[in-house]
Chains A and B, each alone.
Chain A
Amino acid sequence: MREPARSDAQARRRYLRHLNRATQCVAANAVWRAGESETAGVWTAVTAPPTLILGTSAGHPLYVRCTQTFHFANHPDFPGERKVRTEDYAYTIAEDEELRSELASWHWQPDRGHPHPHLHVGFAHPRYTGSPRWHLPTGRVALEEVVAFSIRELDVKPAVDEWEATLGDTLARFRRFRTWS
């Protein structure tokens, strides 16, 4: 079902609501908030708390930090409606709260730094010791895909039974209305 946004505030709330739904699949009490940064028109969205603790079936916690920036735009398909356009993202999963033991980071910061979406793997190959700073090419990665990866591959315990349906729903909405492919 469509949720038309007639204002920037409605577009922001819709966007954050879906980020909350996806994130709460692994961190039940995490919420997203956003504020306009010192770069005019660019908003930054972060979770509260900024680094989330994820329980795993192995018993040890993992930690995830998720940050996005976005701006508001006219909806290209629905005149008079507003939407959020993601500008950048960074998602990091680590074994420690300070993120020093990084497992993986997905970055997309097209206008600043490396121009293409990419993955950093946080541990070194025995021969290619510079591998943690490689920019491994990816498509643009959705938050939902990172959450699903953490459950399926890192044994993070889902916080809700319906996590697959929830992530599938929010990812489908995201793909339907994104303005990049």
Chain B
Amino acid sequence: MPAVIEPDDDVLSREDLDAILDEDARRLLGLSGVEFRQRLAAGTLPEHPAVAHLALLTGAGAC
């Protein structure tokens, strides 16, 4: 079996998750992380394959 590569630190902080959400929501959907959360709560996010992934960063889901 090939050796598995593992990160030195496998834990993401809440700030790390927020930063991934904000960066990818801006890049993929043109929304800030705050706007993404607001539109997730309102059910007004655009149809985009990234939405399900970004919603899971908040611990919520949308599919």
Task: List residues of chain A with CB under 8 Å of any chain B CB.
Answer: 12-13, 16-17, 20-21, 24, 28-29, 31-39, 42, 44, 46, 48, 50, 65, 67-69, 88, 90, 92, 94, 98-100, 102, 105, 107, 109, 111-114, 118, 120, 122, 133, 135, 160, 162, 165-166, 169
Whether B57 and A44, one on each chain, are in contact in the complex, defined by CB atoms closer than 8 angstroms, is yes
* Inter-chain residue pair count (beta carbon < 8 A): 127
Residues of chain A within 8 A (CB-CB) of B17 are 35, 37, 44
* Closest Cβ–Cβ distance, residue A118 to chain B (whole Å): 7
Would you give 23 A-B contacts (Cβ < 8 Å), ordered by A?
A: A20-B4, A24-B4, A29-B5, A31-B7, A34-B10, A36-B14, A37-B56, A44-B59, A65-B53, A69-B59, A92-B50, A92-B52, A92-B53, A102-B49, A105-B52, A107-B63, A112-B55, A112-B60, A112-B62, A113-B61, A114-B63, A118-B63, A166-B2
Whether B1 and A162, one on each chain, are in contact in the complex, defined by CB atoms closer than 8 angstroms, is yes
Q: Which residue of A lies closest to B24 (CB)?
A: A50
Whether A88 and B53, one on each chain, are in contact in the complex, defined by CB atoms closer than 8 angstroms, is no
Whether B2 and A99, one on each chain, are in contact in the complex, defined by CB atoms closer than 8 angstroms, is no
Whether A37 and B59, one on each chain, are in contact in the complex, defined by CB atoms closer than 8 angstroms, is yes
The distance in angstroms between the C-alpha atoms of A23 and B51, with both chains bound, is 22
0/1 string, B18-41, CB within 8 A of A gives 1: 001000100110000000000000
Q: With A50-B24, A166-B1 known to touch, is A38 a contact of B59 (CB < 8 Å)? A: yes
Q: With A35-B11, A37-B17, A90-B56 known to touch, is A122 a contact of B49 (CB < 8 Å)? A: yes
The distance in angstroms between the C-alpha atoms of A120 and B53, with both chains bound, is 14
Q: Which residue of B lies closest to A29 (CB)?
A: B5
Whether B48 and A46, one on each chain, are in contact in the complex, defined by CB atoms closer than 8 angstroms, is no
Whether B10 and A46, one on each chain, are in contact in the complex, defined by CB atoms closer than 8 angstroms, is no
